[in-house]
Amino acid sequence: MTDFISQLNKYADLAVRVGVNVQKGQTLVVNASIQSAEFVRLIVEKAYDAGAKLVKVNWSDEIVTRLQYERADDEVFATPPKWFAGEMIELVENGAAVLHVIAENPDLLKGIKQERIAMNQKTRGQAMAPYRAYQQADKFSWSIVAVPSPEWAAKVFPDVPESERVQKLWEAIFHTVRIDQEDPVGAWKQHLATLEEKSNILNAKKYKKLHYIAPGTDLTIELPEGHIWAAGESINEKGHSFVANMPTEEVFTAPLKTGVNGTVRSTKPLSYGGNIIDNFSITFENGRIVGVSAEQGQETLEHLVEMDEGAHYLGEVALVPHQSPISESNILYFNTLFDENASNHLAIGSAYAFCVEGGKDMNQEQLAERGLNTSVTHVDFMIGSGEMDIFGVNADGSEEPVFKNGNWAF
């Protein structure tokens, strides 16, 4: 127990000092489930230790959320939460950092009418559009970390005795975020440097396109002129570093909105809107999604794509080697924060402004002119495996391997 408490403290410290990198005199906003209360209290303590002026916690409760979807009036889901969006926008405009502590039940909304979920996702996305624009231009520091819940642990480890599941998920999370190493902060600095090496190589290559080949996948993704490959560490507009996802194993950029053609097949389930989408394929023509097919969650996937016009296009292309810590653990997390860092992935919806030269200072119209997609949503889905090859296509049409059998070719 003493060792667990020590690791929990290290995890909280890592989230505060490396994840959001709280500065002296700064406000920290924590969005968290009540199931993570013990850990959030540690976060609050560590943030004040780091010099935070104020730590504001926004609590949520999955049972209350489920009851709302079951019993609230339809108009509730059609009404944008302007009050919440307004507060969050004001906070980040005044320099706040935002930390999300997730403890999601992947099946929370199973059986709920998809129309209600889709409407809520859309109206919330519309209300939060200015906030998302700030986020995707690195205007403020933000990060996501996770803690186990009994429901999530049961989904991940159904064959483990019930009394041991949560602890086993804690151990898995600690491993993915390097808490089980002697110097987690030092380990993260080394890891981020390794990711940056890969992004530097890709930025020097300046590929025109990427060509993906795998079982069920034959996809070409054109990249915008002046695209930038980013890695785990970001820099906000005040020059402070932060790590948006903990864990992170990816190097990513934005695709050219109209330059995606072919079909891609998922390789891991996608937990979205309290439901699971699994074994699905998506077909593109000139960037636009023209067909979707899923063995599980077909209706959920269709509602996602129909959320707005931008949800018919991609906003992110990310490279993650098959031989990475999360992938090699052979644990399926049913949680995108972890599963996307075990697999090459793409994202439906909006692109990150910082993935094109000068993008951080562009408005939405200017970003669109550069070929980046805009949407009220951004949803990652996993496509990588040990059977995937990716080729970089140069401006003269010549190709060279980027990934071979799921791993870096250089």
If we measure between CA atoms, which residue out of 21, 37, 39, 29 comes closest to residue 170?
Answer: 39
| Stretch 86-110: mean pLDDT | 97
How far lies 239's CA from each of 15, 132, 242, in Å?
A: 18, 19, 10
| Stretch 194-212: mean pLDDT | 97
φ/ψ bin of 310: left (φ > 0), alpha (ψ from -120 to 50), beta (otherwise): alpha
How far lies 313's CA from each of 159, 171, 174, 310, in Å?
A: 38, 37, 35, 6
pLDDT at 325: 86
Q: How far apart are CA 351 and CA 134, in angstroms?
A: 12
For the whole model, what pTM was predicted? 0.94
pLDDT at 94: 97
Residue with tokens 């992935």: 345
Q: How far apart are CA 244 and CA 145, in angstroms?
A: 9
| Stretch 336-358: mean pLDDT | 96
According to DSSP, the residues that pair with 263 across neighbouring strands are 218, 283
According to DSSP, the residues that pair with 261 across neighbouring strands are 220
On the question of pLDDT at 1 being above 90, the answer is: no
Q: What is the largest CA-CA distance in the chain?
A: 60
Q: How far is CA 54 from the centre of its chain?
A: 26
User: Where do runs of H (alpha helix) occur along 184-321?
Assistant: 184-205, 298-305
Peptide bond into 148 cis (omega under 30): no
- Contact between residue 99 and residue 143 where contact means Cβ atoms under 8 Å apart: yes
| Stretch 118-137: mean pLDDT | 95
On the question of pLDDT at 2 being above 80, the answer is: no
Q: How far apart are CA 106 and CA 322, in angstroms?
A: 24
Structure tokens at 204: 């020097």
Portion of the chain with pLDDT greater than 90, in percent? 98
Structure tokens at 228: 């930038």
SS3 state of residue 178: coil
Average pLDDT, the chain: 96
Q: How far apart are CA 124 and CA 344, in angstroms?
A: 28
If we measure between CA atoms, which residue out of 380, 324, 384, 321 comes closest to residue 350?
Answer: 380
**pLDDT tens digits along 354-403:** 999 999 999 999 999 999 999 999 999 999 999 999 999 999 999 999 99
pLDDT at 130: 96
Query: How much is the CA Rg of the chain, to the nearest whole Å?
Result: 20
SS3 state of residue 325: helix
**pLDDT tens digits along 275-330:** 999 999 999 999 999 999 999 999 999 999 999 999 999 999 999 999 988 999 99
pLDDT at 324: 87
- Contact between residue 174 and residue 184 where contact means Cβ atoms under 8 Å apart: no
| Stretch 10-28: mean pLDDT | 97
SS3 state of residue 177: coil
According to DSSP, the residues that pair with 30 across neighbouring strands are 57, 99
- Contact between residue 203 and residue 229 where contact means Cβ atoms under 8 Å apart: yes
